[in-house]
Chains A and B, each alone.
Chain A
Amino acid sequence: AQKVTQAQTEISVVEKEDVTLDCVYETRDTTYYLFWYKQPPSGELVFLIRRNSFDEQNEISGRYSWNFQKSTSSFNFTITASQVVDSAVYFCALKLNRDDKIIFGKGTRLHILP
C-alpha cells in the first residue's frame, strides 16, 4: 500500500529561523512522483515542487530547498530565513506512475512568529 507520513503536525518558529518539514513515503513501485504543496488559509493548494523517482538531485529555489533520499524514502523540505508569509499548511504527496491519483500526507501546519 502507498502512504505518506508527515510526523510533524504543527511547528512554530520565529521569523528568520530555518525550518525543515519532514516527509516519509511508502511504495513498492519503482516509478513515482513526489510533490510538495502549500495551502494558505484561502484553501487553494499551491504547487511548490515535483520530483520523479529517478531524480535524486536536491533542488533549491530561492529560500526553499528539497532533499530527496530514496534510501530512507524521505523527501524533506527546508525553508531558509523563514518569513511570516510562509505560515501555512504544507502537504507532501505521492503519485504512482500507473495512475493519476495523488496521495497526500496529513500536512504540517507551520507558524512563523514575528
Chain B
Amino acid sequence: DAGVTQSPTHLIKTRGQHVTLRCSPISGHKSVSWYQQVLGQGPQFIFQYYEKEERGRGNFPDRFSARQFPNYSSELNVNALLLGDSALYLCASSRGIGTDFNYGYTFGSGTRLTVV
C-alpha cells in the first residue's frame, strides 16, 4: 500500500507569492492534517480536515487555508508568502477521528518550502 504522498517535495518561492501544497492520504483514510515544522523546532498543527470539513485549526494567520476533496486528498494554500513561512510542511492521514485517529495516524515525508 502506498503511504501518505506529498507534492512537490521541494520548492522555492519569492516573498509575496502564493503556494499550493498537495497531500494524498493512504487509501481508506478520510482525515488529513497539516503541520508546519520550522528548522530546529517540532511540528506545529495547522489544520485538520475530515470528510471534507474543517475539524480543527491551529494558531496560524488567515493567509493559510486548506481544503479536502471528495477523494480525501487535500491542498494547503499559503498567500502572501513571508520569509518566516520557510519550513517543512507535513501532512498526516488517519482512517478517522477520535479512536480511529489515535491508533492509525501516518505522516508523509513533507514538502520543503523555501521563501526567498
Contacts and interface: CB of A to CB of B under 8 A. Distances in A.
Interface of A: 4, 33, 37, 42-45, 47, 50, 52, 91, 93, 95, 99-107
B98 A104 contact: no
Contacts of B45: 101-103
Contacts, number: 57
Interface residues of B, number: 29
A103 B41 CA distance: 12
Contacts of A42: 109
Contacts of B86: none
A11 to B, nearest CB: 15
Given A99-B56, A100-B55, A45 B40 contact: no
Contacts of B31: 100
B81 interface: no
